[in-house]
Structure 1
Amino acid sequence: MSVTSKDDVDGILKFVADCDGKFEDSKCDIKESDLGGLGVFAKTDIAKDEAILTLNKSSIFSASNSSISNLLCENDIDGMLALNIAFIYETTVFKDTSHWYPFLRTVRFRDDQGHLNLPPSFWHANGKQLLKGTSFDTLFDALTPEEEIIQGFKIAVDLARKWNGEFRLEIPKGFLDIDEKNYDENFNLALEKFISVAYTLSSRGFEIDAYHETALVPVADLFNHHVSRPDLKFVSLYDVCDKCGEPGMCKHLIAEGYLEAQQREQCKSTTGNAATRVIDDDLISRLENGLGGERSDNDTDTEEEDNLTQNPDECVDIVLKNDVRQGQEIFNSYGELSNVFLLARYGFAIPGNQYDIVHLGPDFIKISKKEDRHQEKFKWWSQVGHGLFSAWYAQMRQEDEEDEESEIQSDGSRQGVNGEMQDGSGEEEEEEDEDEDEDEDDGLKSWLSQLYIDVNGEPSPSTWALASLLTLTPAQWESFFSQKATPHISDSIVNEEKLPFLAKTGNLHAKKLLSKLLKDKQLPVPIGEHPIGAKGVTDAMHQSARILIQSEHDILNKCLKRLS
């Protein structure tokens, strides 16, 4: 959500106008949102496909077009670290001499009370305590400080000292100037400011193209997030030259093509290795002059006329993909993300998030540690069972979907001209699900990650299966193997015909076990304002924790109702 002040809006719109950008302020209004901060609202009915913001890429701010872009490039600094360093220099060193400063000065990394906007991994211990035991903590370990950003800060400090020594470039005060006399204290204060800037920029950045990568876009960052019904799409040509940002055939591509042709010719005429040539400014200049030829006055006139209109390939657009009604807030989307990701990456959580889950991995581990009789089953599940069950379950789903697709096609009521599904169901959805599963496995690499309750209060297949497994009698447990279980359980031959039993959701013993686990799991929901005198806990922290815990509380209650 935007933390831009209402007092800054006029300055942002003036910057857009000065850059020949176009914001439909006759149809849109920027004002306070019920979600907090500012939002963009429709002054009148607006039809879908209309562009309500158009900006030339020269008016956006990225590391690639910043005042220190050449220094960042020479030191191989890119990505969000480059954007973070560039922003700090632009707003503290170059300031009024910077083309982007009228816009960048409105990007605030402190709240109205002056507190830094920090990710939960860098909250005070009292703030982190609010999220202990939630999926934020147990599934994603998102309360542990990221070493990557600390290393990024150290790199930024070293570069600032290097550039100051070599070019007398001023070191950004309050950000990268570490006083050696009180090193630890100054380091931690500057680190927090650096992290706050990074956190703020990550919540406002847009992926632009191969040259700019992630950049800040005036006005575009004022649209609030909607979890299920966004109204906008962000349009930008991504395939541009990664060295200059130009679309189509630019001087760099011409030079590269020229060198490749020259090297091919050399290879034909010599048996040895051809000398490697370098693309430099002199070569580019000679190629431009040679290929361009003499320019007439008519050519100049044509160029001036072309510059009067924006080249669509050099612009970014915010386009409506829905009709919006007068008075309606116009929403963007950060993606289909749970509150855990929204809070960790963007600094907010939303009530009723349909992508929330409750993670149960640590709660099952507690069960295994309490009772020795469960340990053998846990060992089998972690080493063998989870993999077998997941493969069987995926195959079962695939067969069910293929059967359903066959029935629909034989009916013909939803069949296209060539027998293709017009609603896009079946195979495409299956592939999307498989991609999501692969992403989860790659990111978490643990069977524990598959133990959760979804937003509808439905236990995941692995959750049902493990609960059923733990409630098996000794005789039922032994029947899972084609031969008697050996001391090395991973070598035992599994009777796969027994796997469907684990997927049954009506097992009373499994329901009882899950019900007890869920009741023990519930955390108290923070109510009212945060406790007076709670050091390091801000209103924003308390509100975000309350929303996230309330969501998990509601999910657990839904599941308990299903189980009862």
Structure 2
Amino acid sequence: MSVTCEDDIDRIIKFVADCNAKFEDSKCDIKESTLGGLGVFAKTDIGQGEAILTLNKSSIFSASNSSIANLLCDNDIDGMLALNMAFIYETTVFKNTSHWYSFLRTIRIHDDQGRLNLPPSFWSADGKKLLKGTSFDTLFDALAPEDEIIQGFEIAVDLAHKWNEEFGLEVPAEFFQIDGKQREKDYKLKLERFISVAYTLSSRGFEIDSYHETALVPIADLFNHHATQPDLKFVSLYDVCDKCGEPGMCKHLIAEEYLEAKEQEEYAPATSGANTAAIDDDLINRLENNLEDAYSNKSADDEDDDNGIQNPDECVDLVLKNDVSQGQEIFNSYGELSNVFLLARYGFTIPGNLYDIVHLGPDFMEILRKDDKHQEKVKWWSQVGHGLFCAWYAKMREEEDEDEDEDEDEDEDEQNEAQSDASHQEADSEMEEESEEEEEEEEEEDGLKSWLSQLYIDFSGEPSPSTWALANLLTLTTAQWDTFFSQKSTLHITDSIINEEKLPFLAKTDNLHAKKMLSKLLKDKQLPPLTDSNAPRGAGVTDAMLHNSRILVQSEHDILDRCLKRLT
């Protein structure tokens, strides 16, 4: 999601220079990318291991070093809500008096047409229709409004007025001043502005350390995403004091250590007085030495700063993981994320995303609703069978890997899915022991969500192990189903004892009956690509919505096609 204009480049570079940061602008060029928005390109060949950007943590923007840091801390506001509020105050109340304003003003919450950047969960009704039936909708329920961000907005409004009354701090009117005469309309407008800030900052934030948490890092947020071949790694020392941000020993850690020692002394037996005194003397000497070392190190760091030398522990760095050639765009990576996650958090999608899947949970549920003969099988599968199969499958895969000396990373998607599924086995077995009906219903609902989430097709068009297993299970004849158990309970199917020799049947990928069931299911599900003629259009549908939805829908369409070809 591009929210920085080309006109802002000089302003950003100047801000970084004013912070005594190191940006290799002689080797890097910030300009428009073919992927959309801005990107960073190599002006010359640059070698692996070179730091393109080095910036002191005092120059990044976080809630902890913002102008309202103390107020946020006093009211126990942290995380993204704190960053959102800090950004709003810095850009609307403090403005030119803020150290970060020249940088923060380059972060725009509107698109080129002046419309707010909103996540799909807050798109218009017509916009949401674009993604109806996709994994975005069925697996993650990501089209439903997010209650957490609405609650965050209401907390922010209350605090803004509280701070105004108590300290005379100006209320950011365009975000937190609700017009009482047009309350419903104005509330919606201010809420959407707040959501746009949250969405924009979420797409640009970096996890810094335990003090700053998520923060905005100038220039670092201009590198585009590449899932499989990133060029950069983001380097930051995370383990620092969460109260002051100091690396190593600081007054807070010294005080905590001293208090812990005093508590131990209070609970020590009275007969150990001599030992306690010895410990106290040793502790005092150590604390004094640590304090002297801390001040000594701090003085040395200050001297280094005066000489233009940065303490690495107090900086963030963008370092090249590999060589880049002249003219090449330099990429970062946000992680191995599907288009669903990229769109929900970062506001963009990429064609041919290797991490995309097609979710089949609702489609299997439709089969089960239409045919009562599957009810017993589904009850067993959801409460017992799913966990048993996944545990067996994970063990089988592990043994195969050891026997064939395969790479640990081979078939990672399937192994991860099986291992993740297996973790639910304990919860499934506990479900059998629940005595109260209400608790049983809750466990059953959790189990339903668990096994339904594992019904999908991966990017290559291969059904997941759980998908094959359920299809094989549902196509068993009555006689085959009865022989599936060494001891079948007539009262409660979940009390039946499985014939473990039958479990490998569930993993079969050549069962013609299962293939036929899956083929019909996929044909019924097939999503038509979004074209100008069938895509919902209206005032609430932006070009960006349509563009990203087309990529996501096309990806799922192609995955279904690949799977159908495999099955036939």
Secondary structure (helix, strand or coil) at the match of 1:233 reads: strand
Give 2:555's aligned residue: 551
How many Å separate the matches in 1 of 2:341 and 2:422? 18
Partner Cα separation in structure 2 for residue 120 and residue 75 of structure 1: 31
Report the CA distance shift for 1:268/1:126 in structure 2 as closer, same or farther (over 3 A): same
DSSP-derived class of the 2:385 partner:
helix
Once residues 222 and 303 of structure 1 are traced to their aligned partners in structure 2, the CA distance between those partners, rounded to angstroms, is 30
Q: Check whether the contact 1:349–1:544 (CA below 8 A) recurs between aligned residues.
A: yes
- Of 478, 482, 487, the residue aligned with 2:482 is 478
**2:61 aligned residue:** 61
1:320 maps to amino acid = L
- Tell me the equivalent position of 1:367: 367
Distance between the aligned counterparts of 2:119 and 2:241, measured in 1? 34
Change (3 A) 1:149 1:10: same
* Mapped partners of 2:553, 2:410: distance in 1: 35
- Contact between 1:453 and 1:460, CA under 8 Å: does it hold in 2? yes
In structure 2, the CA distance between the partners of 1:19 and 1:334, relative to structure 1 (3 Å rule), is same
Instruction: Give the equivalent residue in structure 1 for 2:509.
Output: 505
1:469 to 467, 470, 473: 473
Matched position secondary structure for 1:558: helix
- Equivalent of 2:518 in 511, 514, 517: 514
C-alpha offsets along residues 499-519 of structure 1, whole Å, 9 cap, x if unaligned?
Answer: 211211111111111111101
Secondary structure class of the residue paired with 2:73: helix
Q: What secondary structure does 2:502 align onto?
A: helix
The 1:510–1:434 alpha-carbon spacing in structure 2 relative to 1, beyond 3 Å, is closer
Give the aligned partner of residue 173 of structure 2.
173
- Give, in whole Å, the separation in 1 of the partners of 2:75 and 2:517: 57
What does residue 200 of structure 1 align with?
200
Distance 1:150 1:380, change over 3 A: same
Contact 1:210 1:238 in 2 (8 A): yes
The 8 Å contact of residues 530 and 539 in structure 1, kept in 2 or not, is answered as no
- Separation of aligned partners in 2, 1:505 and 1:350: 30
Correspondence for 1:119: 119
Aligned positions of 1:392-431 closer than 5 A: 392-405=392-405
Look up the SS of the partner of 1:40 in the other structure: strand
The one-letter code matched in structure 2 to 1:506 is D
Q: Give the structure-1-normalised TM-score.
A: 0.88
Flag the 1:514–1:307 CA change in 2: closer, same or farther, 3 A: same
Q: What corresponds to 2:2 in structure 1?
A: 2
Q: 1:292: how far off?
A: 5.9
Shift of 1:204: 0.2
Structure 1 residues without counterparts, runs of 5 or longer: 272-286, 409-422
Alpha-carbon separation, structure 2, partners of 1:15 and 1:435: 47
Q: Which letter does structure 2 place at the counterpart of 1:323? A: D
CA contact 1:529–1:542 (8 Å) conserved in 2? no
Alignment of 1:32-431 (within 5 A): 32-261=32-261, 303-304=302-303, 306-308=305-307, 309-405=309-405
Partner SS for 2:247: coil
Contact 1:530–1:537 (Cα < 8 Å) also in 2 = no
The secondary structure found in structure 2 opposite 1:16 is helix
CA deviation vs aligned residue, 1:453-512 (integer Å, no higher than 9, x gap):
010000111111111122222221222122455142112222221121121111111111
Q: Secondary structure at the match of 1:556?
A: helix
Compared CA separation, residues 110 and 263, structure 1 to 2 (3 A):
same
Cα deviation, residue 259, structure 1: 4.0
Deviates more, 1:492-501 or 1:16-25: 492-501
Contact 1:230 1:331 in 2 (8 A): yes
Tell me if structure 1 keeps the 8 A contact 2:387–2:421: no
Give, in whole Å, the separation in 2 of the partners of 1:401 and 1:450: 22
Q: Which amino acid is the alignment partner of residue 307 of structure 1? A: D
Aligned with 2:40: secondary structure?
A: strand
Distance apart, 1:539 and its partner CA: 0.6
Which sections of structure 2, spanning at least 5 residues, go unmatched?
272-286, 428-445
Gap change, CA 1:20 and 1:470, over 3 Å in 2: same
1:397 deviation in Å? 1.1
CA distance in structure 2 between the aligned counterparts of 1:486 and 1:495, rounded to whole angstroms? 16
Partner of 2:464: 460
Mapped partners of 2:321, 2:300: distance in 1: 38
Amino acid at match of 1:200: T
CA RMSD of aligned residues (A): 2.9
C-alpha separation in 2, matches of 1:317 and 1:390: 42
Query: CA distance change for structure 1 residues 270 and 14 in 2, over 3 Å: closer, same or farther?
Result: farther
- Contact 1:530–1:542 (8 Å) recurs in 2: no
Residue 378 of structure 1 deviates from its aligned partner by 2.0
Distance in 2 (CA, whole Å) between partners of 1:426 and 1:557 is 24
Q: Does the 8 Å CA contact 1:2/1:39 hold for their aligned counterparts?
A: no
Other structure's SS at 2:331 match? strand
Paired positions, count: 530
Go from structure 1 to structure 2 and tell me whether the alpha carbon gap of 1:437 and 1:233 turns closer, same or farther (over 3 Å shift).
farther
Residues 398, 430 of structure 1: 8 Å contact kept? no
Contact 2:54 2:318 in 1 (8 A): yes
Between 302-311 and 88-97, report the one with greater CA deviation.
302-311
Would you say the 8 A contact 1:530–1:538 is kept in 2?
no
* Local SS of the residue matching 1:54: strand
Residue 420 of structure 1 is matched in structure 2 by none
Query: Hey, what's the Cα distance between the residues in 1 that align with 2:535 and 2:566?
Result: 35
Q: Distance in 1 between matches of 2:222 and 2:269?
A: 60
Q: Provide the rounded CA distance (Å) in 2 between the counterparts of 1:438 and 1:55.
A: 44
Residue 540 (1) aligns with residue 544 (2): yes
Mean Cα displacement is larger for which, 433-442 or 93-102?
433-442
| Whole-Å separation in 1 of the counterparts to 2:180 and 2:313 | 49
Q: In structure 2, do the counterparts of structure 1 residues 426 and 174 end up closer, same or farther at CA, with 3 Å as the change threshold?
A: closer
Instruction: Return the letter of the residue paired with 2:332.
Output: N
Structure having the higher helix fraction is 2
Q: Secondary structure at the match of 1:536?
A: coil
Between the aligned partners of 1:232 and 1:270, the Cα distance in structure 2 is: 58
TM-score normalised by length of structure 2: 0.87
Judge conservation of contact 1:223–1:331 (CA < 8 Å) in 2: yes
Question: What is the CA–CA distance in structure 2 between the aligned matches of 1:484 and 1:437, rounded to whole Å?
Answer: 24
Q: Measure how far apart 1:306 and its partner are.
A: 4.9
Give 1:248 deviation, angstroms: 1.5
Say if 1:481 and 1:314 are closer, same or farther in 2 by CA, change over 3 A: same
Q: Is the 8 A contact 2:72 2:82 kept in 1?
A: yes
Change (3 A) 1:450 1:291: closer
Closer/same/farther in 2, CA of residues 394 and 97 from structure 1, 3 Å limit: same
Tell which deviates more after alignment, 547-556 or 467-476: 467-476
Conservation of the 8 A alpha-carbon contact between 1:135 and 1:357? yes
**SS of structure 1 residue aligned to 2:174:** coil
Query: What is the deviation of 1:446?
Result: 1.5
Which residue does the alignment assign to 2:274?
none
Q: 1:563 aligns with which of 560, 564, 567?
A: 567
Alpha-carbon distance in structure 1 between the residues aligned to 2:247 and 2:533: 52
1:8 offset after TM fit, Å? 0.4
